[in-house]
Amino acid sequence: MEHTPSDQIDRVKAPEENFTGDVEFGPLSNVEPDGLNALEVHFQPGARTDWHRHPNGQVLYVLAGEGLVQNAAGERVEIATGDVVYASPDELHWHGASAHSHMSHLSLTTGGATQWEPRKVTDEEYDGPTS
Ligand code: MN
């Protein structure tokens, strides 16, 4: 058994190369090759990932705040505390905080590293369709 007290979780700033805005990771698991990768991810308002895929999909569980998830097919959902989103294997998508709220989610993946597209989420994409 391994116990990590909350104040000993090693939070690190997410790289600007793959994210827009202020984002922090808190790794919750020791990742073996092809093992479970569990991360707490904290987004400040307006912060988001770049477009990306996960080889075996991804479970997102919202711990706090409000945010957005969108895929390349144009599906777009608003998420809030307690919501769960599943991104299918290789589904191109992004996620982040809403413009007016921080957002923290748990990310659960297996199957190795995130596959990043060389593509930021533009402000136009982030703001979404206007009706
Ligand atoms: Mn993802």
pLDDT tens for residues 110-126? 998 999 999 999 999 99
* pLDDT, mean of residues 88-113: 97
* Second CATH level (architecture) for the domain 11-126: Sandwich (2.60)
Residue 44 reports pLDDT greater than 60: yes
Between the CA of 107 and the centroid of ligand 1 the distance, in Å, is 8
Between the CA of 130 and the centroid of ligand 1 the distance, in Å, is 24
pLDDT tens for residues 68-80? 999 999 999 999 9
Between the CA of 94 and the centroid of ligand 1 the distance, in Å, is 6
Sign (positive/negative) of CA torsion 38, 83, 97, 55? positive
* Boundaries of every domain in the chain: 11-126
Between the CA of 18 and the centroid of ligand 1 the distance, in Å, is 11
Confidence at 130, pLDDT banded by 50, 70, 90: low
Percentage above 90 pLDDT, the chain:
84
Confidence at 86, pLDDT banded by 50, 70, 90: very high
